Structure 1
Amino acid sequence: MSAYPPRAAGPEVIGLEREAVEKWFGSAVPAASPPLSFELLAGGYSNLTYRVVDQRGRSWVLRRPPVGPLRPGAHSMEREWRILTALQTSAVPVPSTAAFCSDPGVTGAEFYVMDHVEGIVIDSAEKAAALTDDARRRLSDDIVATLVQLHQVDPAVVGRRPGTQSDSYVGKQLELWMRQIDGGGTPRTREIVEVYDILSERRPPQRWTGLTHGDFRLGNMLVSAAGKVEAVLDWELWTVGDPLADLGWLTAWWILDADDGWSPGCADGFPTPAELAADYQRLTGRDTSDVPYYIGFALWRLACISEGVYERYAAGMMGRPQTSLEVLAARPRELAVAARAALL
């Protein structure tokens, strides 16, 4: 997607067998006119994303898992394809899907292709500065409206029925992340365990169930200069869960400091998290008084993620980090402390 800076171009593109993919395109995407060019837009330890351009200048986006060994069940392209396809007729803005390849013989893994969507990702002060105050307000309104549209989609579109879960989404997530934190022995960051106890004790009942994105934030959207959400991206964490967890995740990222990347909360013209929650409540009629809990849950989950990132870098599994190991080592505690502050 054009908002990503190119990471690689030219004849050698990691994760793609160019001739085999081009041949597959010839039958699976009839609108494509070879020869094709490939450009890596986003990669690393998440899914690999490429822009594919044919000789007439038409472009698509191809997504496949990272190269190398993968955890069982992780990076499922079929799962992303399924939700994107299901949302094609909904009001949720997503790229149009083109084709899915289940044959790992083509390029080493399953992958899918969707239409390229023009837009920018507002992930820096410089990009935010290009928006007028009116556009920032319109964008904020549209983000909340888009989240509401997602939460109004019937989970039956992906073959799921709400209300069939015996445990709450948050409860399952708490147990899942603590198992990962405990997996290496005694947890390194005691504050994560302390906040887990608070979250477990104060967990509100799950009052609604619906389709959730799992990583719904401004950094996962393509937007226009006029302040319109053109497409919601990165659906690898979608599930049927608690809609307020999506709202809490959005508002938590809205106010994170610069160590975690740019956030709207540091720029003029964007609403406060409380205003976002109020807009969501107005549009849905759902009580959002528990949002501080869900913000705390989101920050705690980020602390757990940060713990894993530090451990992988410290073990030499991810090369040299862009920031120092000292900063990475401190981040889990900082996020856990922020989570505790949101809960108290």
Structure 2
Amino acid sequence: MNAVGLNEDAVSAWIAGLGVGAIAPLSFERIGNGQSNLTYAVSDAGGGRWVLRRPPLGNLLASAHDVVREHRILSSLQGSDVPVPKILGLIEDPEVTDAPLVLMSYVAGVVIDSIGVAKKLTPEQRRGVGLAMARALAKIHAVDLADTGLEDLASHKPYAARQLKRWADQWEKSRTRDVPEVEQLADILQRNMPEQKELSLVHGDFHLSNVITSPEEGEVLAVVDWELCTLGDPLADVGALLAYWPEAGDEDAGPFPASTLEGFPTRAELVEAYTQETERDVTHVGYWHVLALWKLAIIAEGVLRRVTDDPRNQAETGAPTVKLIDGIIARAVATAEAEGLR
């Protein structure tokens, strides 16, 4: 059975011509829980493995899911301190594919994309993974933009204002219903914007499912899924990590419950580990936590809209539900109240 979204014969011929040692025939399998850009494992007759990425199927919002841009970012990070897969090829030829394709190396390791995977780890390994993520995030934010040629990747204007404008616009284009709390949170975030004092590379979607870790000590072997990468305030990534990091005592764990298991650091411990690595002032990290939850709800709504419009985009784990999205919004409201943001 052919992999949805790929012309397997044409793509196989392209990969064979890249000189990566692929031995025909090649097979393709959709992998991961990602519901934006589609990811495939590529295997050959000799046991070789690679990873292929393409945009979602169907009509897309302008600038979203740009794998050509993702290719540029990963290519620029080759040889840096940031652990990333090796980039092997990019093709946009309409005779081969209806959308751009990026081929990269396969990184063997553990992806904690479900609570089932996390349960196979010891508490010590879970803690090791969490602390390693803080170190990996510090490496991303230490990237020299001039040396990597990424200075012009995005605007240098204040990041919070850019994020509020972009995601409010995305909400209007992709929402399936009226949710007054989304607009109310946007107003709260607008009123409480902190002054931006630093500009760094920002991953934009940094969480457990987007890192590949060592099965032994939990070190981060590769950071993946760079489609939301931009330039901005580094604390935005810390806030996003917190948004994706429920704790055992939380009322609603949301769609990413793995970090509620014994051993994983608390959100406060993650912030402390990041602070020790970077010596940054994290006074406003609560603001970025709220913004990240608001943004996560909008992203989930967009996924729901894409799956509704074209069911082929749905991952094996299913699509976000209205109940799940409303739960994220409720967490954002509660976090804003706890942080004193009004």
Q: Into which bin does the TM-score normalised by the smaller protein fall? A: 0.7 to 0.9
The residue that corresponds to 1:81 in the other structure is 71
The residue that corresponds to 1:260 in the other structure is 255
Of stretches 67-76 and 140-149 in structure 1, the one that deviates more from structure 2 is 67-76
The residue that corresponds to 2:286 in the other structure is 292
Q: Any conservation in 1 of the 2:176–2:301 contact (CA below 8 Å)?
A: no
* 2:273 is the counterpart of 1:282: no
Higher relative contact order (CA 8 A, sep 6+): 2
Give the counterpart of 2:188 among 179, 192, 198.
198
1:227-285 CA-to-partner distances (Å, cap 9, x unmatched) read 12121111100111111000110012112743323241x11112111111111111111
* 2:113 is the counterpart of 1:118: no
**Alpha-carbon distance in structure 1 between the residues aligned to 2:239 and 2:79:** 27
Q: Any conservation in 1 of the 2:32–2:39 contact (CA below 8 Å)?
A: yes
- Aligned-pair CA distance for 1:30: 4.0
Assess, with a 3 A threshold, how the Cα gap between structure 1 residues 173 and 54 changes in structure 2: closer, same or farther.
same
The residue that corresponds to 1:3 in the other structure is none
Q: Any conservation in 2 of the 1:86–1:157 contact (CA below 8 Å)?
A: no
Assess, with a 3 A threshold, how the Cα gap between structure 1 residues 53 and 216 changes in structure 2: closer, same or farther.
same
Normalised to the residue count of structure 1, the TM-score between the two structures is 0.86
- Aligned-pair CA distance for 1:174: 0.8
- Aligned-pair CA distance for 1:179: 2.8
Q: Any conservation in 1 of the 2:293–2:332 contact (CA below 8 Å)?
A: yes
Assess, with a 3 A threshold, how the Cα gap between structure 1 residues 155 and 342 changes in structure 2: closer, same or farther.
farther
1:162-203 CA-to-partner distances (Å, cap 9, x unmatched) read 899563111111122223334589982222222222211111
Q: Any conservation in 1 of the 2:175–2:302 contact (CA below 8 Å)?
A: no
Give the partner amino acid of 1:296: V
Q: Any conservation in 2 of the 1:306–1:331 contact (CA below 8 Å)?
A: no
What are structure 1's unaligned runs of at least 5 residues?
A: 1-9
Of stretches 95-104 and 252-261 in structure 1, the one that deviates more from structure 2 is 252-261
Number of residues of Structure 1 aligned to a counterpart in Structure 2: 331
Q: Any conservation in 1 of the 2:211–2:223 contact (CA below 8 Å)?
A: yes
- Aligned-pair CA distance for 1:36: 1.4
Normalised to the residue count of structure 2, the TM-score between the two structures is 0.87
Assess, with a 3 A threshold, how the Cα gap between structure 1 residues 325 and 25 changes in structure 2: closer, same or farther.
closer
**Alpha-carbon distance in structure 2 between the residues aligned to 1:166 and 1:55:** 47
Give the partner amino acid of 2:257: W
**Alpha-carbon distance in structure 2 between the residues aligned to 1:333 and 1:233:** 26
The residue that corresponds to 1:47 in the other structure is 37
- Aligned-pair CA distance for 1:123: 2.8
The residue that corresponds to 1:247 in the other structure is 238
Percent of residue pairs bearing the same amino acid type: 41
The residue that corresponds to 1:234 in the other structure is 225
Q: What's the Cα RMSD here?
A: 2.8
- Aligned-pair CA distance for 1:318: 5.0
- Aligned-pair CA distance for 1:336: 3.8
Give the partner amino acid of 1:255: P
Assess, with a 3 A threshold, how the Cα gap between structure 1 residues 165 and 328 changes in structure 2: closer, same or farther.
closer
The residue that corresponds to 1:129 in the other structure is 119
Assess, with a 3 A threshold, how the Cα gap between structure 1 residues 326 and 276 changes in structure 2: closer, same or farther.
closer
Assess, with a 3 A threshold, how the Cα gap between structure 1 residues 342 and 248 changes in structure 2: closer, same or farther.
farther
Give the partner amino acid of 1:343: E
The residue that corresponds to 2:55 in the other structure is 65
